[in-house]
Amino acid sequence: MKNLILGTTAAMALAAPAWAADDVTLQLKWVTQAQFAGYYVALENGYYDEADLNVTILPGGPDIAPTQVIAGGGADVIVEWMPAALAARENGLPLVNIAQPFKSSGMMLTCWKDAGIAAPEDLDNRTLGVWFFGNEYPFLSWMSSLGIDTDGKAEGSVEVLKQGFNVDPLLQRQADCISTMTYNEYWQVIDAGVTAEELVTFKYQDQGVATMEDGLYVLEENLSDEAFKDKMARFVAASMQGWKWAEENPEDAAMIVLDYDETGAQTEQHQIRMMGEVAKLTAGSNGALDPADYQRTVDTLLAGGSDPVITKAPEGAYTLEITDAALN
């Protein structure tokens, strides 16, 4: 296994620079997997070295909240979904999106076809598995747009099953549909012996209620430091170089991710497949957040029912200054 810190510092020592590289600590949203391939590729291929950066990548997990890590000073930059970042900002943690490597959302609802579900309107009077902790708001907005309540299984309403980090509710027929990501849980269903022909999927991106995922966020106060902004511009540029290489070389990128997986939990087949799906989500992004995508996310969150994740339109929640510098 590779040591993330030593891997970079050793390369810097060989280069024998006349000055010390700038340290950057990146906190991931989840465990080491192809969802974050661009950062591992940038580390492995030396793109961070070339940008005079000494990057440490911290894997996430079910007990690690990136927002708490950065609030406690444990990271310079985090990978986070925009609903969680905007909620944190409204609650007093001033996070700012500085880059958006993911152009599209990978979230979808995966349903049993034999339950008689063929179109979104057929979701009425069903039991649907939904992730919470901010991930429920695109779902609530979608149901609202369909005129479907979420008060329980009945005509004009659905029962919302609070879903954990597995696909058991679907496999055990506890729910007609569950939340999945195009690059992960959907394939867990397939690997359990279900065929694609037995399923119907609805992508949030296609339903017009997708929120932005896997953006890069920093604390607003740090953006008043010119040296920090310069460091982040170099970090974003090198990271996007890693992402574009990963898009063009998905199998090689997956193998790099596996090399950095210190748990040994990931498999070659799953990571190669995941990288192929993730490449579809990063395609079309040069790293800069599209203000239209941001506004769609805000509108979706504000329309999230009686208990929205944010109560007012945020101000100063993103900047294009870093990506402008990185791209130029």
Q: Is the pLDDT of residue 72 over 90?
A: yes
Q: What is the CA radius of gyration of the chain?
A: 20
Which pLDDT belongs to residue 305? Answer: 62
178 - beta bridge partners?
A: 110
Per-domain residue ranges of the chain: 4-104+212-327, 107-207
Six-digit token string for 275: 């990288």
CB 125, CB 158: distance < 8 Å:
yes
Short-list 202, 182, 181, 178, CA closest to 121: 202
Q: Is the pLDDT of residue 303 over 90?
A: no
Mean local confidence (pLDDT), 231-235: 98
The residue among 141 and 321 whose pLDDT is bigger is 321
For 179-216, the DSSP string reads: EEETTTHHHHHHHTT--GGGEEEEEHHHHT-----SEE
- Give the chain's mean pLDDT: 92
Q: Which of 167-176, 207-216, 299-308 has the lowest mean pLDDT?
A: 299-308
Short-list 38, 31, 25, 33, CA closest to 77: 25
Mean local confidence (pLDDT), 188-199: 97
Q: Does domain 4-104+212-327 have CATH number 3.40.190.10?
A: yes
Say yes or no: do domains 4-104+212-327 and 107-207 share a fold.
yes
Cβ count within 10 A of residue 316? 10
Q: Which residues of 66-94 are buried (b: 16+ CB within 10 A; e: fewer)?
A: bbebbbeeebbbbbbbbbbbbbbbbeebb
Which pLDDT belongs to residue 172? Answer: 97
CA gap 64, 86 in Å, rounded: 18
- What is the rounded end-to-end Cα distance, in angstroms, of the chain? 36
Q: If 0-12 CB within 10 Å is exposed, 13-18 middle and 19+ buried, where does residue 231 land?
A: buried
Which pLDDT belongs to residue 110? Answer: 98
Is 177 strand, coil or helix? strand
What is the amino acid identity at position 97? N
CA gap 14, 226 in Å, rounded: 29
CB 101, CB 239: distance < 8 Å:
yes
- What's the pTM? 0.89
Mean local confidence (pLDDT), 32-47: 98
Which pLDDT belongs to residue 14? Answer: 43
CA gap 228, 212 in Å, rounded: 24
Q: Is the pLDDT of residue 320 over 60?
A: yes
Q: Is the pLDDT of residue 249 over 90?
A: yes
Spell out the alpha helix ranges (H) of the chain: 4-15, 37-44, 47-50, 66-71, 82-90, 136-146, 168-171, 185-191, 204-207, 226-248, 250-260, 268-282, 291-302, 321-327
pLDDT digits (tens, 9 = 90+) for 82-138: 999 999 999 999 999 999 999 999 999 999 999 999 999 999 999 999 988 767 878
Q: Which of 26-40, 75-89, 272-286, 304-318 has the lowest mean pLDDT?
A: 304-318
What is the CB-side half-sphere exposure of residue 145 using CA atoms within 13 A? 18
Mean local confidence (pLDDT), 244-272: 97
Helices 4-15 and 37-44 pack at an angle, to 10 degrees, of 30
Q: Does domain 107-207 have CATH number 3.40.50.720?
A: no
CA gap 211, 106 in Å, rounded: 10
